[in-house]
Structure 1
């Protein structure tokens, strides 16, 4: 379950299994009489039944009952209730939240502003703007500005670009403005004045938070031509004291590629920046138009001391190399020891369509036969996906008797990628369609989900070859919800597409199917640590039980069962995340229950530990650790822990590395 779909190429984002109805709050909250106060409470929930009740109502998505707690005389309950709406995200609560923006407690006002932003209701815009001018607390003002970015309309954007004169020297307001412009840009709401303001906020005389948000906004906003701003972007990419700002500025430079100096600057950053994450960003910013100018730097990066840089360099060649000899990539690949870099270069070799194609294909197939790791085998099948002539080899490998799950998943993805190649033979179209049907009829959730996605791809036009979707309906009927939600979802989308029906709502799991285990939560210290022993070393996490009690309780229960011992990190994206905990090892595995998202007011900085999902309220057992700040994940994925030691180990993790043991420590 990635942060994105399909399972093992993207972190997952939106859905879950539904039982009908909502259990009443008291049905999943133990009465106070059975939960006495603990003299020395290990966390805020242990001794406070009201906080537990509010968290339970949040888990059950009970808006009316939560609204009552906004009226509590106790500030901590009003704050907790407001924060609950950041996860519930019910627009029916917007009016009540607007009214509480003037709460006498700053902590409550901040929680209300965050919740309004999370709800993303444009009807909150006027109340937030009014609060901005009335607010006396600088931290709350910053929160209000960021929330405005999540709620603003295009008409309201100019007011976010131009702060009131009284706030122009307020550093907290500058940070809030920058985050607000970033959040608006993620929603596709931007303008030339907004871009110009972000460039101003990138200056080193501004606070770190403002520079980080500005750099990320410029890097992630689509369809920008930043050529006019090449000079300030170059300055930030080279001189900012923080690697995260330099890295995001380097990515933004890729949108200023018409500036003559940019390719050489990216090449220099890729070679010389002291932080590997900036070198990764510089390589990612390089594009096909600058290939000739930067390729020497990319060649050098293939042997970078950091494997993530080397992988990114290989991906650059796969994406952008043209008119190169395939044997050149083959020769370089044969000299490398890191299997993922080597396999990616082999894919680049096959993509070149050189006269030595058959020899290169044979070399890749021989490596596949010799490889011991299922992940390396999978990557080699992925490489063969660049060459339609390898179709029969990949098909047989994918459906080989007793084939490992990881290899089968990679293999079918390779077949789909191969079918997208413009020179895929028309004579094999029918065979490919039958392979998809065979995949679906195996009942394997990964093969079924991937096959269903391909069947609804309009570019493949498979409707005529497989006009009868009965085999999909039969396969879907055998799935178990919520465990197999992602495959169920993929099949349903395909059935709707083939039958030309409106999208079927995805069933979502309610809290009654897996309520928060308060007995477990009440015994977890607020500073509880977890040791993750891996093949690369030890990582120590601190659990955030007070921010995500249901998620932490589930994680602790799985640890005690030994669930994670022997699992793998199945997904590592350089300068983004390392993801593991899948019981299948390919990203398509889950438990037999789903959790509800717990979206506390936390940020994804380096070393944040989040739960992967297939959408809101679909979290399960898979988790990921971020390599660097990844603010586009904020408020979308539950953060339930943070790395407190072993970040160097996280940065060395690679696909296939083993989670040897996970254990609770004091």
Structure 2
């Protein structure tokens, strides 16, 4: 069995066992079989209450006589996340049904309240079921204080399932900055080859993603795992963690990894881990990586150079430019060239690159090259003019991104501060959701010191009043945060979307549990398995949009190498939403390679954008709805670039409005 799907299958078996206990086999052979679990009206009601965030009517189901309903009600609170449910969920940890105890532990972790910590520790000392132990350990990490972190460090698992749970618990505690030296040492021990995959994966992400830990003492163990672990998902995270090692030969071993590992995700992780190293030390590896046959590696390397331009040799980049065909890579390299060129050659090179921009084909290629021009401060007015006159949102949004990048540079000319402040004010006045949101975020950046350039903040208030909700919620949130900052107020409660789009149960009940869809793209076909029983509202929303041909001819507007490929935006720049929003739906699933999630600007703000993961991304777990998984065509996902088109979305099996036997 695929270890990444182990948790999902565990749940399926547990819930299946519950169902088997409740229903006797029918002697009739022609009785229609429900195509998904929502023919059960009680389950439909529980999910409706979840969707409505109706705590009061959900609570009684936690003590229902049916263990299946108790389980589903507990899972509902993983999405509702109301602290009123904490006491009854703690009581559910003693339930006779294993599935109910697992669900309660998951929900407590999702709610994340520290008041659950002591009870979870007590139950861990009594619980005998490995699956429940694992879920309790991970939940403990999600609610941990220093006491919980110490318990996780000292816990001795008696089985592999609990070991994986401990490892995930350490990772979750690390994300809460509950870190100890003993916990770090335990994570290093957990990445050794004889431990199970899930334990190694979670520990590797603890090492890679936990901030402010020094891994220098563990150099040897990390290098062993980075070069010999059989799972590329583990290697890439361990390689990422090598950024936290101080060693004289760091450039050497990272360069070797960047040029030798067969998996592109490991290679680009090695490049990203090189931050702070002298360019001359890593030059051969970087120049090779920027020309890597895998486009994601080349893109990630060019972005690394933008983030670390100091000391990069212009002549070396000029020599490889002719080999770079991708506009995104070229744009980033142009930025570094202009940034680092001597004054006498900068103007000449700039004119040449401006001509390339003018002759570029397609909005995405133009956008990438326009951002490249922001490596030269003298281009600021040209970029601003392009932004305000752009007919395509992609050009305007990227121009704003380029101007913000300019303004963030440590040597930004003080003489231009007032002019940039006016550009941002004017951008807010355009009413374009992307320009307004991005400019608002820039204005509140304390490092940019823009507050003193505005006599009043009425232009931000006016922009906020013109927004259309829930469509413009992301921009609304940015404006509210900026107004709070400028008025010296503690950040107010994040604006909430109204509940306007309930689940379409007629549509949900017509979608088979094994429904698949095919994304036909310019790079090839990608087949998705929809998780209608885990995320009925999100799946119904996706199917309804697909039926309307909403996604046809849209682009993958965002591709972050070894993270996600994102699509579903009509604007094509990431700021396009619908006139409604749907609710977040969190189930005990993990973001592994090829999982499909709903993009959002925060809980309960989803609409039409979604993403596919390139590799495990545990920091998204429980924060972004998982509603599908790639079952065929993952090689296509790894080849996707910004600007690749979705031709159409095909429902692989017919969806009818009648229940039929399978």
Distance (whole Å) between structure 2 residues aligned to residue 324 and residue 553 of structure 1: 50
> Secondary structure, in 3 states, of the residue corresponding to 1:609?
strand
Q: Deviations over 1:548-593 (max 9, x none)?
A: 0000011111111111111111110111100011111000110111
Q: Deviations over 1:170-194 (max 9, x none)?
A: 1111111111000000111111000
Distance (whole Å) between structure 2 residues aligned to residue 447 and residue 318 of structure 1: 23
Contact 2:78 / 2:106 at 8 angstroms: preserved in 1?
yes
2:385 aligned with 1:392: no
Contact 1:398 / 1:407 at 8 angstroms: preserved in 2?
yes
Match of 2:571? 584
Distance (whole Å) between structure 1 residues aligned to residue 509 and residue 437 of structure 2: 39
2:170 aligned with 1:177: no
**Where does the alignment leave 5 or more consecutive residues of structure 1 unmatched?**
1-37
> Secondary structure, in 3 states, of the residue corresponding to 1:134?
coil
Distance (whole Å) between structure 1 residues aligned to residue 235 and residue 490 of structure 2: 45
Distance (whole Å) between structure 1 residues aligned to residue 323 and residue 161 of structure 2: 52
Counterpart of 1:151 (choices 130, 143, 150) is 143
Match of 1:533? 520
> Secondary structure, in 3 states, of the residue corresponding to 1:41?
coil
Counterpart of 2:70 (choices 78, 91, 95) is 78
Distance (whole Å) between structure 2 residues aligned to residue 416 and residue 374 of structure 1: 20
Match of 1:354? 342
TM-score, normalised on structure 1?
0.91
Match of 2:645? 658
Contact 2:516 / 2:530 at 8 angstroms: preserved in 1?
yes
Match of 1:250? 239
Say if 1:62 and 1:234 are closer, same or farther in 2 by CA, change over 3 A.
same
Consecutive aligned runs of 4 or more in structure 1 exceeding 4 Å deviation:
none
Match of 1:547? 534
Q: Tell me the CA shift for residue 224 of structure 1.
A: 1.3
Contact 1:318 / 1:351 at 8 angstroms: preserved in 2?
no
Match of 2:593? 606
Contact 2:279 / 2:311 at 8 angstroms: preserved in 1?
no
Q: Tell me the CA shift for residue 39 of structure 1.
A: 2.8
Between 1:61-70 and 1:260-269, the stretch displaced more is 260-269
2:304 aligned with 1:311: no
Q: Tell me the CA shift for residue 651 of structure 1.
A: 0.3
Contact 1:610 / 1:641 at 8 angstroms: preserved in 2?
yes
Q: Tell me the CA shift for residue 290 of structure 1.
A: 4.7
2:83 aligned with 1:91: yes
Distance (whole Å) between structure 1 residues aligned to residue 606 and residue 53 of structure 2: 15
Q: Tell me the CA shift for residue 336 of structure 1.
A: 1.2
Match of 1:336? 324
Distance (whole Å) between structure 2 residues aligned to residue 158 and residue 501 of structure 1: 36
Contact 2:330 / 2:369 at 8 angstroms: preserved in 1?
no
> Secondary structure, in 3 states, of the residue corresponding to 1:288?
coil
Q: Deviations over 1:370-426 (max 9, x none)?
A: 1112112212222222221111211111112x5211100111121122223344444
Match of 1:345? 333
Number of matched residues?
622
> Secondary structure, in 3 states, of the residue corresponding to 2:305?
helix
Between 1:147-156 and 1:261-270, the stretch displaced more is 261-270
Contact 1:304 / 1:310 at 8 angstroms: preserved in 2?
yes
Match of 2:93? 101
Match of 2:287? 299
Distance (whole Å) between structure 2 residues aligned to residue 264 and residue 425 of structure 1: 37
Counterpart of 1:379 (choices 331, 343, 368) is 368
Say if 1:650 and 1:438 are closer, same or farther in 2 by CA, change over 3 A.
same
Counterpart of 1:41 (choices 34, 46, 55) is 34
Distance (whole Å) between structure 1 residues aligned to residue 45 and residue 482 of structure 2: 40
Q: Deviations over 1:73-94 (max 9, x none)?
A: 1111011000011111111111
Match of 1:195? 184
Describe how 1:26-37 pairs up with structure 2 within 5 A.
Answer: none
> Secondary structure, in 3 states, of the residue corresponding to 2:647?
strand
Match of 2:61? 69
Contact 1:326 / 1:357 at 8 angstroms: preserved in 2?
no
Q: Deviations over 1:618-663 (max 9, x none)?
A: 1111000000111111111100000010000000000011111112
Q: Tell me the CA shift for residue 519 of structure 1.
A: 0.6
Counterpart of 2:603 (choices 607, 616, 619) is 616
Q: Deviations over 1:268-319 (max 9, x none)?
A: 1111111111111111111222533222111111221211111122222222
Distance (whole Å) between structure 2 residues aligned to residue 270 and residue 502 of structure 1: 44
Between 1:459-468 and 1:478-487, the stretch displaced more is 459-468
Match of 2:356? 367
Distance (whole Å) between structure 2 residues aligned to residue 504 and residue 599 of structure 1: 25
Q: Tell me the CA shift for residue 505 of structure 1.
A: 2.4
Describe how 1:199-210 pairs up with structure 2 within 5 A.
Answer: 199-210=188-199
Say if 1:607 and 1:370 are closer, same or farther in 2 by CA, change over 3 A.
same
Contact 2:134 / 2:162 at 8 angstroms: preserved in 1?
yes
TM-score, normalised on structure 2?
0.92
Distance (whole Å) between structure 1 residues aligned to residue 476 and residue 148 of structure 2: 40
Contact 1:91 / 1:121 at 8 angstroms: preserved in 2?
yes
Distance (whole Å) between structure 2 residues aligned to residue 322 and residue 425 of structure 1: 18
Counterpart of 2:456 (choices 439, 449, 468) is 468
Contact 1:329 / 1:345 at 8 angstroms: preserved in 2?
yes
2:285 aligned with 1:266: no
Counterpart of 1:125 (choices 108, 117, 132) is 117
Q: Tell me the CA shift for residue 325 of structure 1.
A: 3.8
Q: Tell me the CA shift for residue 353 of structure 1.
A: 4.0
Q: Tell me the CA shift for residue 327 of structure 1.
A: 4.2
Match of 2:23? none
Distance (whole Å) between structure 1 residues aligned to residue 649 and residue 215 of structure 2: 46
Match of 1:25? none
> Secondary structure, in 3 states, of the residue corresponding to 2:538?
helix
Between 1:124-133 and 1:226-235, the stretch displaced more is 124-133
Distance (whole Å) between structure 1 residues aligned to residue 650 and residue 409 of structure 2: 46
Contact 1:243 / 1:278 at 8 angstroms: preserved in 2?
yes
Contact 1:328 / 1:349 at 8 angstroms: preserved in 2?
no
**Where does the alignment leave 5 or more consecutive residues of structure 2 unmatched?**
1-30, 654-662
Distance (whole Å) between structure 2 residues aligned to residue 379 and residue 469 of structure 1: 32
Q: Tell me the CA shift for residue 143 of structure 1.
A: 0.8
Q: Tell me the CA shift for residue 504 of structure 1.
A: 3.2
Match of 1:10? none
Between 1:423-432 and 1:347-356, the stretch displaced more is 423-432
Contact 2:517 / 2:527 at 8 angstroms: preserved in 1?
yes
2:264 aligned with 1:276: yes
Match of 1:219? 208
> Secondary structure, in 3 states, of the residue corresponding to 2:453?
coil
Q: Tell me the CA shift for residue 218 of structure 1.
A: 0.2
Contact 1:388 / 1:423 at 8 angstroms: preserved in 2?
no
Between 1:497-506 and 1:542-551, the stretch displaced more is 497-506
